[in-house]
Chain A
Amino acid sequence: MSFLTVTYALIFYAATALLIGGLAWRITLFAKAPAPLKIPTTPAPTTQTGVVLRMFREVVFFESLFKSTKWTWLFGWMFHIGLLLVLLRHSRYFINPDWFWVPHIFWELVELVQPFGIYAGFVMVAGLAGLWSRRILVDRVRYISALSDHLMLLLIILIGLSGLTMKFIAHTDIISVKAFFIGLITFNWQAIPTDFIFLLHISLVATLMAIFPYSKLLHAPGIFFSPTRNQVDNPRERRHLSEWAKRLEQ
């Protein structure tokens, strides 16, 4: 086992632990903190089904952002839909269709998106470039950006570009890439391919995984916990007393 393989194996275990552990910790915080008052942004749905639909529109179509700023919506949506397809396409490198926990339908989906996944990479990078140009060119957005906001965009763009490079310019040995990751998951380590672009690509991905739960990427779980979006508008019908507020009544 080469030193490089061991190093990357350990890096990926660490990054995964940071990602899962960090997210679990944060989601626990979100879930544990009570929402003591009804604060949906109205007009709001008056039923739970309505709330599910509102959340669906928000997560899938970015409804509020669409109302707000068409350019940001367009770039943001391009990036996220591109990312989704790219992730789906990539999942064939990490799973085997004969594993019992991989649903057949999912694997079919993965196969289906393969051709789109490639172009999705371009859409994703284009969306990111659009977002970054807004961050630089629009004075208001420039004002609210910290260095980390720029670095985050840089990181994801580099991931996208290095990925596209491997697809179109400097091919990597995809069979051994898959062998390496399957080996990681099944604790049966295999040698890692050593070409530079590939190593760069996965180093950046490991970085992204590691910082995810400690950065603004928390918006992903955050939206599901947002009281202005996930509450039913029924305060006159039902009391909404939190545990700590209940204590005031004694």
Chain B
Amino acid sequence: MAKANFEVPELKDFIEIPVVTPDTMSHSKPYMAKPEFQIELGFPGELPEDWKDQALDAMGDLLGKYRSLQVYLDSCVKCGACTDKCHYYIGTKDPKNMPVARQDLLRKVYRRYFTFAGKFFGKLGIPEVVGAADFTKDVLDDWYSYFHQCSQCRRCSVFCPYGIDTAEISMAAREIMDRIGIGQKYCNEILGKVYKIGNNLGLPERALADTLEGLEEDIEDETGVKVRLPLDEKGADILLVTPSADFFAEPHVDGLMGYAKVFHEAGASWTLSSKASEAGNFGMFIGSYENMRRASMRIREAALELGVKRIIFGECGHAWRVAYSFLNTLVGPFDFLDPKYPVPQHILEYTWNEMKKGTLNIDKSLNDDMVLTFHDSCNVARASRMGDKPGGQFEIPRNVIKAVCNNFVDMDPSTTREKTFCCGGGGGLLTDDLMEIRVKGALPRMTALHNVIKDNGVTHMAAICAICKSQFTKVLPYYGMGMDQIVSVHQLVSSAMILTGQNTDDDEDE
């Protein structure tokens, strides 16, 4: 088990709804962004004297810009249906991690300054009667703490009778905090890297080219076939945009080699771009339309410069949300691309299509050493789609896995598909300074996984998100499981594929 300076929740046979235990996580606060990074993103560097007025101005501005915010702040009836739905509440017992209570941190300020009831009872000195509160430094501290304990996974929005999506509230809160100089280091400094270098990891072009060459050599060593991973190739048909973790992190990189093999066998002309060498878009995490747009613009520019016909995204959850749901709106129209294909496409849509066409030579038995289960990534499940039918985001990944593996078992249905639990590291929380909330938030998924390991002999869990993969690699050991039990879906494709001309004799005959 990994060492922890906090209590790791104990795995039970079922997911237990905890008794309300206030303030267990009030100490959790991510590092703050340094002033120079704030300024780079167009935000002030420090908390100004009149922060309260500025924050209220920002709130007013956002209320006029986002219907979701206005409607959701007004419509909650405190029915409690969402209270037991958040993995962070389940893992921490802290009531402020119940979705409605998280919203209330912002709603009580809204009620105090923007509604008749709140103003009236506020003047009488008893705003709490109507769920309102003065905007004090303590409230602001709570915001910083608890709006960085929400992975914007939208599980709460599935169960709310009005579809109230706490992710929308968290994004607004982070935007308001950014506008008064309180930014989160992890998100904001990463955005800075994307603008300066092109990806979240700050991997420059030269290093990227070397990495890709290394991967080509690896594939050739293993298969005897020269599979290319082209970079900045003008005139290619397909631009692949993938999370930068795919370039070197395990198990992400095995997935990247899988994409390359699929393109190779399909005979596709494709390229990566050094300018758009990042699929992830942290502008969404901080709720900033402008930053989300600016980060997306690189993709449009790269597509134009390279003259591609299609854009395909690699395995990543939040990235796919921005790509599928927002890209066309943010930086479209993509009328310069081939209208035969949706913009953008998911690599799984592409691979599944090739499988149906029969271009890939698959030997399922090559994955017989594993029994697989599949983790639905929250933002793929509840904020996007694959294919042309609702729910394709659940079927297509499973279809692909079942096409390359003989042994597949689904986890408890109350933890899959639209009801899936976030890995615990989404929404800008994938940073070491938030390790406690990440480990605790993983509890529901860990419980469901542990059960299929015990009962069905599952050995590995496949995922389609760079954040999920990194998060599980880190968190599995805290729960007594192995970090290598998490695999990329395209890693499974890769290991079951036999390339044309692949030299298989020496492996098989021994």
Contacts of A138 in B (CB 8 A): 80
Let me know if B325 is at the binding interface, CB within 8 A. Answer: yes
Whole-angstrom distance between the Cβ of B412 and the nearest chain A Cβ = 15
Let me know if B418 is at the binding interface, CB within 8 A. Answer: yes
Check if B390 sits within 8 Å of A42, measured CB to CB: yes
Contacts of A46 in B (CB 8 A): 388-390
Whole-angstrom distance between the Cβ of A81 and the nearest chain B Cβ = 14
Whole-angstrom distance between the Cβ of A245 and the nearest chain B Cβ = 7
Contact with A along B161-185 (1 / 0, CB 8 A): 1111100100000000000000000
* A140-B95, A144-B100, A215-B117 known; A45+B157 contact, CB < 8 A: no
Let me know if B83 is at the binding interface, CB within 8 A. Answer: yes
Distance, CA A219 to CA B84, complexed state (A) = 21
Check if B131 sits within 8 Å of A149, measured CB to CB: yes
Total CB contacts across the A-B interface at under 8 A: 219
Contacts of A140 in B (CB 8 A): 17, 20, 80, 83-84, 95, 98
Whole-angstrom distance between the Cβ of A65 and the nearest chain B Cβ = 4
Let me know if B104 is at the binding interface, CB within 8 A. Answer: yes
Contacts of B393 in A (CB 8 A): 42-43
Determine chain A's interface SS by DSSP, over half rule: helix
Contact with B along A30-50 (1 / 0, CB 8 A): 101111111101111110000
Check if A39 sits within 8 Å of B384, measured CB to CB: no
Contacts of B68 in A (CB 8 A): 35, 39, 226-228
Distance, CA A235 to CA B334, complexed state (A) = 12
Q: Give which listed residue, A218, A235, A236, A237, contacts B74 with CB less than 8 A.
A: A218
Check if A233 sits within 8 Å of B80, measured CB to CB: no
Contacts of B17 in A (CB 8 A): 140
Check if A33 sits within 8 Å of B67, measured CB to CB: yes
Chain A residue at minimum C-beta to C-beta distance from B101: A144
Contacts of A148 in B (CB 8 A): 117, 129-131
Check if A146 sits within 8 Å of B289, measured CB to CB: no
Chain B residue at minimum C-beta to C-beta distance from A213: B116
Contacts of B162 in A (CB 8 A): 219, 222-223, 226, 229
Contacts of A201 in B (CB 8 A): none
Q: Give which listed residue, B64, B75, B131, contacts A218 with CB less than 8 A.
A: B75
* A143-B20, A144-B83, A149-B78 known; A67+B326 contact, CB < 8 A: no
Whole-angstrom distance between the Cβ of B114 and the nearest chain A Cβ = 10
* A43-B391, A228-B157, A245-B289 known; A72+B67 contact, CB < 8 A: no
Let me know if A167 is at the binding interface, CB within 8 A. Answer: no
Let me know if B70 is at the binding interface, CB within 8 A. Answer: yes
Let me know if A104 is at the binding interface, CB within 8 A. Answer: no
Q: Give which listed residue, B70, B129, B343, contacts A33 with CB less than 8 A.
A: B70
Check if B77 sits within 8 Å of A219, measured CB to CB: yes
* A67-B158, A144-B101, A239-B332 known; A43+B325 contact, CB < 8 A: no
Distance, CA A76 to CA B328, complexed state (A) = 40
Check if B290 sits within 8 Å of A39, measured CB to CB: no
Contacts of A43 in B (CB 8 A): 385, 390-391, 393-394, 418
Contact with A along B109-133 (1 / 0, CB 8 A): 0000001110000000000111100
Check if B76 sits within 8 Å of A216, measured CB to CB: yes
Check if B290 sits within 8 Å of A72, measured CB to CB: no
Let me know if B381 is at the binding interface, CB within 8 A. Answer: yes
Distance, CA A236 to CA B325, complexed state (A) = 7
* A68-B85, A76-B79, A225-B67 known; A58+B117 contact, CB < 8 A: no
Contacts of A145 in B (CB 8 A): 78
Let me know if B135 is at the binding interface, CB within 8 A. Answer: no
Contacts of A237 in B (CB 8 A): 342
Let me know if A29 is at the binding interface, CB within 8 A. Answer: yes
Chain A residue at minimum C-beta to C-beta distance from B61: A244
Which residues of chain B in 15-47 are interfacial with respect to chain A, using CB atoms and an 8 Å cutoff? 17, 19-20
Contacts of B131 in A (CB 8 A): 146, 148-149
Q: Could you jot down 6 A-B contacts, CB within 8 Å?
A: A32-B64, A140-B84, A144-B95, A218-B74, A222-B162, A226-B72
Contacts A38-B325, A143-B98, A236-B328 supplied; 14 other A-B pairs, CB < 8 Å: A41-B154, A41-B382, A64-B158, A131-B79, A138-B80, A144-B95, A146-B78, A218-B75, A219-B75, A219-B76, A222-B71, A226-B162, A228-B164, A240-B328
